[in-house]
Amino acid sequence: MKCTDKNCSSNKRFTLYARKLFSALFLTVLFLTGCGQDRFDMPYTADLEVSSFRIVTLEEERGTAVPFASDLCVVNSDITSSSVDMSKAQGAGLFDLNKHNTLYAKNVHERLYPASLTKMMTALVALKHSSGDMMLTASANVRILESGAQVSGIKEGDKMTLDQALHLLLLNSGNDAAIMVAEGVAGSVEAFVAMMNEEALALGATNTNFTNPHGLNDENHYTTVYDMYLIMNEAVNYSLFNEIISMDSYTTVYTDKNGASKEISVNNTNRYLQGEAVPEGLTVLGGKTGTTSAAGHCLSLITKDSSGNPYISIVMKAESGDLLYSQMTDLLEEINN
């Protein structure tokens, strides 16, 4: 057929349009697949059908789909048990780390105040970005004025290593230690909190937002049971974290602003490390406590069974300390069932 100027012009326009369409589709597919990247920042909620932890990446060579969270426990709804009474707590979860299986779940995607469970993320970020022998100097900001806030007695000008500060942070749950760690690692609390939130996103903990490194109450400082599982699951990859949370007590010597020695001894706030009974065949390796009036009583544990298989268990917003531990013990019993 003879190509008139009009026909040629139309054909050229069509060809150009087709090329642009193909390019747009290619870029869209490239964006969605992430070009091999393994990080997804799509937020999830309890009732959202499409979310970060459900996204899959394609293996082109085999043409199969591999779950994004293939090495994680995933849970979309409550998983209950007749032998667990969790009526006096707002949220709870039990996660089998070897089998990547969720054994129990109550409100695991509900946003709750974490209290001092926050300090697990503080320790994780510090361990990821600094070494234990890093020297820290306390600023005036370590003076915590909030009534009832747990402190280790650190004063302005005190000097200690990051290793020492992390022991006071995780064992004694010192809020002053949290400030000292944050400022020492990042230069300011604000910069450190930004690092905490960046790490949360990288782990897929997208229902979490931190505003401080210690967990004292702030309405914009929140997390979920599931997100705390993700955070602890990452933190236990660090040997120093595991070493600290397994100790029942700790004594160290540091210096004040004048260079004089100061000794401090603290006990682990985790009752299971102080003799609280554990279900038969189980060993509590360690964990982190957290308590404020708004958060209630919280506890996150790493436990192993008689075969050495590890589990993470979390209870949040229990009505009292005694109820926290009785409900946690019921939850741990599920490992043996």
Domain membership flag for residue 84? no
Rounded to an integer, the average pLDDT of 273-286 is 97
Q: Are residues 195 and 206 in the same domain?
A: yes
Catalytic-labelled residue, pool 173, 288, 313, 317? 173
Q: Which domain holds residue 30?
A: 5-67
- Lowest-confidence segment of 7-21, 109-123, 150-164, 268-282 by average pLDDT: 7-21
Cβ neighbours, 10 Å, residue 252: 16
Claim to verify: residue 147 and residue 195 sit in the same structural domain: yes
- 259 and 312 part of one domain: no
Q: Are residues 214 and 176 in the same domain?
A: yes
Give me the pLDDT at residue 71, please.
87
CA 337 – CA 17 distance, rounded (Å): 63
36 CB burial (10 A radius; 0-12, 13-18, 19+): exposed
Model pLDDT, residue 58: 39
The pLDDT confidence band at residue 148, using thresholds 50, 70 and 90, is: confident
Give the CA angle between residues 182, 237, 212 to the nearest 5°. Answer: 25
Average of per-residue pLDDT across 19-45: 47
Report yes or no on whether pTM surpasses 0.85.
no
Mean of the per-residue pLDDT values of the chain: 86
Supply 170's token pair.
């995780």
67-90 average pLDDT score: 88
Choose the catalytic residue: 51, 52, 116, 300: 116
Residues 260 and 303 in one domain: no
Encoded tokens for 37: 């990247």
Average pLDDT for 184-201: 98
Domain annotation covers residue 248: yes
The DSSP annotation for 178-228 comes to: HHHHHHHHHSSHHHHHHHHHHHHHHHT-TT-B-SSSS----TT-BB-HHHH
The total number of structural domains in the chain stands at 3
pLDDT beyond 80 at 262: yes
Q: Does residue 77 lie in a domain region?
A: no
Residue 245 has pLDDT above 70, yes or no: yes
66, pLDDT greater than 90: no
Catalytic residue among 106, 119, 288, 317: 119
First to last CA, the chain: 79
Tell me if residue 173 is catalytic: yes
